[in-house]
Amino acid sequence: MCRLAAYRGAPVSLAALLYAPPHSLERQAHAPREMVSGHVNVDGTGVAWWETGEPEPLRYVSDRPPWSDPNLPDLAARLRGSPIIAAVRSQTPGMPAGAAAAHPFTSDRWAGAHNGYLNGFDAIKWTLLERVAEQLQAQVETLSDSLLLFLMAVSRLHEGGTTTLAEAAAGAVEEAGRICAAAGAAASLNLVLGDGSEVVALRSARGVAANSLYWIEGGGRWPEGALVASEPLDDDRGWSEVPVEHLVRLAADGVQVSGL
């Protein structure tokens, strides 16, 4: 089912999400507290981050859980950035394995991760692919529900105009949910999308219980930033639950939570 976390604020190390907190993503990989499907998240680890002044994110992905990756623990302690999006993966049956399927995904200046699944994927995958902009279809390294959902959001951003990050994420989630509903399939649709300046995260589902999602601003471990995560990374009382069918935006002007 996956667990994810995203940070925006003064640059911090990648370990600030992956390893350092008492309920870090490394911990959530083998001892999640609030998963509604599955038990562990040991089918891959990934992180995308923006170095200061760089418009496009860097990405590191592995098909291993965080504790068995030979390189990531040392790298995560030394590499810094903001925003940061990180995830540990629980492979949905029928979805491809391997590092290419690990979240987060990147495209141009955007990165994103999906916590959930689209049931009946074989019956709807070509319909979803049709919703991906033609110039982005070459980026489909592996045909998974999560990658197509991410690229559906990025396709909306490529349309230009006044489309915001929040509008692109919400539009992709709404469209994917509608396609699943038409096929009589459930969809778990928590989605995080970021660029070099802000991060948005949605908590949404169709025909199934929504996955958990929380946010915090100015916490004790991250006094100069804000986070959103599938589960709180520590026991700070500042964590708040994102209501179902709501979006949280982490930006320079603070945190905003709004209904979809």
Domains recognised in the chain with CATH numbers: 3-259 (3.60.20.10)
For residue 40, what pLDDT is reported?
Answer: 86
Of 1, 91, 108, 110, nearest in space to 43 by CA = 91
Is the CB of residue 144 less than 8 Å from the CB of residue 205? no
For residue 57, whether the previous peptide bond is cis, meaning omega lies within 30 degrees of 0, is no
- Per-residue exposure over 178-199, b if at least 16 CB sit within 10 Å of its own CB, e if not: ebbeebebbbbbbbbbbbbebb
Is the CB of residue 24 less than 8 Å from the CB of residue 72? no
For residue 1, what pLDDT is reported?
Answer: 64
Instruction: Encode pLDDT of 217-260 as tens digits.
Output: 999 999 999 999 999 999 999 999 999 999 999 999 999 999 98
List of the chain residues with pLDDT < 70: 1, 160-162
Contacts with 223 (C-beta within 8 Å, 6 or more apart), sequence order: none
Is the CB of residue 156 less than 8 Å from the CB of residue 172? yes
For residue 241, what pLDDT is reported?
Answer: 98
Q: What are phi and psi of 183, to 5 degrees?
A: -90, 0
For residue 129, what pLDDT is reported?
Answer: 94
For residue 161, what pLDDT is reported?
Answer: 65
What is the distance in angstroms between the CA of the first residue and the CA of the last residue of the chain?
A: 22
For residue 43, what pLDDT is reported?
Answer: 82
pTM of the model: 0.96
Burial, 123: exposed, middle or buried (Cβ in 10 Å; 0-12, 13-18, 19+)?
middle
